[in-house]
Structure 1
């Protein structure tokens, strides 16, 4: 268990170092801020998932971790990852980021080029009883993303904003370094697209 923790903290440190030098990612950090999460191999609760204390914000135009990686530091993204892992246990990491309709369209095309699965969750379809029950939205959102992706876990899923909810996207993968390298590449290519 200690060996796994040391390995996980090391990978998160490397991933954060990459992310904090990725200026192109800064505009994709949502108002609610970003979190990067990494689950233990057998994680069943959010307390077995590393997250960033205080999330990731923007300082001096660059992404910046407000705190250090800690087990249990994330609630939202950790619970999302736990739900995803019920369908695909190989998924151990994820990052959330801001979205808008233009980026969503670009992301869908990008995913098609790479052979990645992309899906959209329409929060307007969320049943009222789920929306109003504390903690019930996450299982519904993940199930909806998987349903929209034809039964598999999508590499990227986009959530349309419901009233009072900021629309965000999530990218998942096997580890935090993979996820961060992929989101930085997406951010760079999307910046280049916007500059054309």
Structure 2
């Protein structure tokens, strides 16, 4: 399944902020990026020289094809240069029932205005009530709450929370009381300095618990890093990561938790540019490129042979590959949307990205707990005749997983079958080496499946060649 996320923001030629940073963040978070530009900015990571807003017609001509052709649910907004662009944006938000995550940016990191004068009051009145998540920094939170937060360079946590509650009420201004609230909403005030060494992100949200919406506060404390000057585009990266994790089906609270984790990890890697500007390094690492290339090699072989279309199951095939010491799903890459059949050949539905696979990723993570050499898993269509031939004619090691043997607790617990599958094999055989193939005959609502394990692309391709010969 391909997850889509739309950014509506200004274009930044330095790629440290704006639409470009949002797109790179979406890619890092495993969603397919869509983009609409509100303004062309003229800037570097250190200096801002001005901007030209797009016209209403240009905005409309960008939005309509995207929203008519792609199933967009979440949209991240950034730079909104004037009221006409905001009105056009809100028209499409309401028409397509979009859920909006807004970084209410008013100034560039160089301190220059990104909108017409008095745009803040228009945003407060018209946009904020239509937003699901708002991510102001302390300065912006003061503007929209009309409360002083920063005193002598520091914030009191209670003042941040109170400002958040005021803003949250503005986001729910169409509701007279909590009992009338119909949707989870959140404001997250970023980077409040509470002492010399500590910053805090303060979350204030209405969380749905049963049939009720309850007010919740949460603090994300972090050490202040010793970085001289501003890092360009941090607000864009943070808010777009929330939008991306929401697009992947996470709850609002979980998406914010994941975004905090993502941002904190990325903020450890600052790229210093030649003009002394600083941006968050969203470049794919050399290690991750190796993983992507491993999947490419397997996919290029698999998709070049028509015979392998016989091994595409109804749920479709994925090829997942992990970093050597992977311990979580975002350290595993796969093919976005999986592999289907087009014109008789296996064909990828999307690009190779990290954090887009689920079942095969969990298989790798569990397998690596017992056999660290396992880095790749492919799910394939179960064919009884193929399993019989593999047993009789090859030296590939197989294991049958019988779903009926699962305890009821495992059957009922979501995402637990893959872990049980591996653990049962280890406990039953006493082996610490994962077999080449673990297969099962299916169950009610569960398609029979072959799972092919391997150490690297060369190992997997060799096994696929063996299986391909048996299919002929």
Among 442, 449, 456, which residue is 1:175 paired with?
Answer: 456
Say if 2:418 is the partner of 1:135.
Answer: no
Query: Structure 1 stretch 135-144 or stretch 25-34: which is displaced more?
Result: 135-144
Equivalent residues in 2 for 1:81-92, closer than 5 Å: 81-92=364-375
Task: Name the structure with the higher strand share.
Answer: 2
> Matched residue of 2:370: which SS?
coil
Say if 2:353 is the partner of 1:70.
Answer: yes
Deviations 1:149-189 (A, max 9, x none): 542311111112111110101111111343134224312x2
Q: 1:148 to 1:64 in 2, by over 3 A?
A: farther
> Matched residue of 1:183: which SS?
helix
Deviations 1:72-92 (A, max 9, x none): 110010001100011111110
Among 27, 32, 53, which residue is 2:315 paired with?
Answer: 32
Q: 1:148 to 1:66 in 2, by over 3 A?
A: farther
Query: Structure 1 stretch 27-36 or stretch 11-20: which is displaced more?
Result: 11-20
Equivalent residues in 2 for 1:39-118, closer than 5 Å: 39-110=322-393, 113-114=394-395, 116-118=396-398
Shift of 1:100: 3.0
In structure 1, the partner of 2:425 is 145
Q: 1:64 to 1:180 in 2, by over 3 A?
A: farther
In structure 1, the partner of 2:298 is 15
In structure 1, the partner of 2:173 is none
**Matches of 1:2 and 1:158 in 2, distance apart?**
34
Please say if residues 322 and 332 of structure 2, whose CA atoms lie closer than 8 Å, have aligned partners that are also in contact.
yes
Please say if residues 49 and 78 of structure 1, whose CA atoms lie closer than 8 Å, have aligned partners that are also in contact.
yes
> Matched residue of 1:86: which SS?
helix
Q: 1:149 to 1:21 in 2, by over 3 A?
A: farther
Alignment gaps of 5+ in structure 1: none
State the structure with more CA Rg: 2
Aligned pair count? 188
Please say if residues 37 and 176 of structure 1, whose CA atoms lie closer than 8 Å, have aligned partners that are also in contact.
no
In structure 1, the partner of 2:149 is none
In structure 1, the partner of 2:467 is 186
Question: Over the residues paired in the alignment, what is the CA RMSD in angstroms?
Answer: 1.6
Alignment gaps of 5+ in structure 2: 1-283
> Matched residue of 2:380: which SS?
strand
Query: Structure 1 stretch 155-164 or stretch 101-110: which is displaced more?
Result: 101-110
Say if 2:401 is the partner of 1:121.
Answer: yes
- In the superposition, the TM-score normalised over structure 2's length comes to 0.38
> Matched residue of 2:290: which SS?
helix
In structure 1, the partner of 2:288 is 5
Shift of 1:11: 2.2
Shift of 1:145: 3.0
**Matches of 1:128 and 1:100 in 2, distance apart?**
27
Query: Structure 1 stretch 153-162 or stretch 169-178: which is displaced more?
Result: 169-178
